[in-house]
Chain A
Amino acid sequence: MQSSLRIVWIYPDLLSTYGDQGNVLVLEQRARSRGIPVEIVHVRSSDPVPDQGDIYLIGGGEDRPQILGAERLRRDGGLHRAIQRGASLLAVCAGYQIMGSVFGGEEGQPVPGIGLLDISSSRGERRSVGELAAEVDPSLGLPTLTGFENHMGVTALGPGVTPLSRTLIGTGNGDGTEGCFAGKIIGTYLHGPALARNPALADLLLRWAVGPLPQIDDTWYDRLRNERLDAVLKP
């Protein structure tokens, strides 16, 4: 029995383009505030992905790093073993697309993903850049999703996944939904520090790993959330 919660950040050297570190820091802070000891593991793309982690994070990146990241993850196999063991995963933007069967490369060419989520992505007509707000699937019991998206991807969801949310503002998957989940895997286009804007999503990942959690002071999280949601939803 290991004593601390192991948070594994996959390939920060390739896939950490915009504030992705924020998700790691938020999970760490929210676990530590509850007295849960945390171990953070940064896995460079030249190193094997450990399969004994509790929560895995993978972030966004440019086209070439995305293709390299997918190749390395497929060759490595560590993430697949970890998911089979019951670990949870938050995959963001380029990392989200990698989890599917296929995504669009530099010239829009199809590139094979690693098949952990039943989704397929391609390159859209135009870049979606801006604030996003969305109502989360009721089964997860989470408040409105808020964040920032910046991508050209269009993602089709297969029957093996459930949409994470329905968009109020923004593009998301491109069909009125944003992100998806299956088992303990969550994928989203909300890049960078999505968990800073959605602490309840961070707590969901923590609960999947350690069980029920006590309340903590969310003053600064709530003030930021309210300001951002007001900015995009109020006329």
Chain B
Amino acid sequence: MLSVQNVSKTYQSGGRALYVLQNINFIIEAGAIVAIVGPSGSGKTTLLGLSAGLDRSTTGTVALNEIPLDRLSEDERADMRNRYVGFIFQNFQLLPTLTALENVMVPLELRGEKNIRARSKDLLDKVGLADRIHHYPAQLSGGEQQRVSLARAFSNSPRILFADEPTGNLDAETSENVIKLLFDLNREAGTTLVIVTHNAELAGSTQRIIRLTGGHIISDEKK
């Protein structure tokens, strides 16, 4: 599903090269649930960005669904994300000017699909927000916002879901609920799940843990 081969990422900072990722290699099969862990500054989020086609690697190849992302244009990558990728962010990243329902509908609207309202409502119902569908993000709690984010991530039936610290902004109880919901929905949809997290408990509940330090993979444990 996701193939990362000899990937490096370098940024220019203050006139010198900053090596964020070096020679990263791994393959994630379809349907797998993988955690990427590591200390701050280890390159986790950069790796997630490259894997999801949000950025280009400096060297190496990232292939999603066997399509090399580096050869695609910006718009082709956007199209790719819309078709195959779902996202969950630490700070929810809902569109503040759209209601909960509209936020969930957007990925489907982008695909030009029909009857999306009913499907989106169903998803919001599944995450327990049936009575909050016309609320704006600012009118929802953090947990509710993340649940809308989950519904949005699954709305386009993605092949792969990237979650960046999905519980990083939530309290313990809410985190537990959100994680449960994430795994339930994932199981139901059969989606490949890649989670970047600091949360050891969350990482422990995945099938595979890739550990990063200083831009290198230091371990890749499969359970």
Q: Do A and B bind each other?
A: no
Point out residues on B near A: beta carbons under 8 Å.
none
- Interface residues of chain A, those whose CB is within 8 Å of chain B, are none
